Amino acid sequence: MFNTITIVGVGLIGGSFGLILKEKGLVKQVIGVSKTERSIQKALDLGIIDKALPLEEAVRQSDLIYVAIPVDVTIPIMQEIMGMINDRQIVADAGSTKQALCEALCDHPMRKRFVATHPMWGTEYSGPEAAVSDAFAGRTCVICEKEKSDPDAVTTIEKVYQLLGMEVTYMGAESHDMHAAYVSHISHITSFALANTVLEKEKEDDAIFDLAGGGFESTVRLAKSSPDMWLPIFRQNREHVLDVLNEHISQLRKFKSCIEKEKYDYLKELMENANKINRIIK
């Protein structure tokens, strides 16, 4: 499908993307761009990329430029990249927020060569060593502002994600950010907060290790996620994150009130209502 692609950011998402494309024979050469020599060397050692180049040289050689870096640095890097490409190249990103980036690029003369995407997959781990070859299979990828991209660019990116086993769906950028706050961003905030709660109240590390069961481990797993990645997401999606936080705090207060006032019938109703999530998530 591609002769050469450049991956800007060879960590979990970018590394997995490159690894899968290579394993499926969808690209002949993968170039890596990273701000850290350690990441580049690790990506080379793991076979995720074939070589590393400075950004401008890498872009010049590539059919597709895939940007998978923290969202706060995505905008300036993307603006730089868009000034380097021609009308036969495609640029796509993998960021967890879309509105700020799409607004920043809305008037760029090469906007139509950009496809705004968010593959809805991730783990609590980071770096090239976290990349896996089955990363995206069975997951959903959101493409935002499809109508603002050239049809051939959209079709190519759709085909790539579909070949990786993803279902593709479409949203406006603001709608994406609102929904992402509810189904992704709040999960990370809750996990960070729960981890801090336990670390504050349970001073004995051995007790946490010995007593923490599978439920706690699965709930707090996301607290191991990189603050360098998630702080910019919370900052860029501030308004939607605050909305979902207010609702979440309201729900927590209901549970707290039930226990304080011994309203166990209502507490059971709250839990039974929560069980309805079974219709959506099996």
Consecutive 10-residue averages of pLDDT for the chain (282 residues): 96 96 96 95 96 97 97 96 97 97 97 98 91 93 98 98 97 97 94 89 66 72 93 97 97 97 97 90 68
Does 167 share its domain with 264?
A: no
Residues 199/224, Cβ–Cβ less than 8 Å: no
Structure-token match 């490159």, residue found: 18
Does 163 share its domain with 183?
A: no
Instruction: Provide the sign of the torsion angle of the four alpha carbons 19, 151, 76, 190, taken in this order.
Output: negative
Task: Kindly provide the residue ranges of all beta strands, DSSP E only, lying in 34-151, ordered along the sequence.
Answer: 51-52, 64-67, 90-93, 114-119, 140-144
Q: Choose one of 137, 157, 172: the last residue of a domain.
A: 172
In this prediction, residue 61 carries a pLDDT of 97
d(CA 47, CA 275): 44
User: CA angle at residue 135 from 134 to 137, to 5 degrees?
Assistant: 70
Does 132 share its domain with 238?
A: no
In this prediction, residue 123 carries a pLDDT of 86
Does 33 share its domain with 126?
A: yes
Q: Give 107's DSSP letter.
A: T
Number of domains observed in the structure of the chain: 2
Does 73 share its domain with 158?
A: yes
Does 49 share its domain with 70?
A: yes
CATH code: domain of residue 274 = 1.10.3660.10
Does 194 share its domain with 232?
A: yes
Does 157 share its domain with 25?
A: yes
CATH code: domain of residue 91 = 3.40.50.720
Does 66 share its domain with 196?
A: no
Q: Choose one of 143, 172, 201: the last residue of a domain.
A: 172
Q: Give 38's DSSP letter.
A: H
Does 164 share its domain with 224?
A: no
How is the chain split among helix, strand and coil, in percent rounded to 5?
Answer: 60, 15, 30
Q: Choose one of 172, 199, 216: the last residue of a domain.
A: 172
Residues 11/128, Cβ–Cβ less than 8 Å: yes
Does 152 share its domain with 199?
A: no
Structural domain containing residue 116: 2-172
- CB atoms under 10 Å from CB of 237, counted, come to 25
* pTM more than 0.85: yes
Does 8 share its domain with 146?
A: yes
In this prediction, residue 187 carries a pLDDT of 94
Count the residues in the chain: 282
In this prediction, residue 220 carries a pLDDT of 86
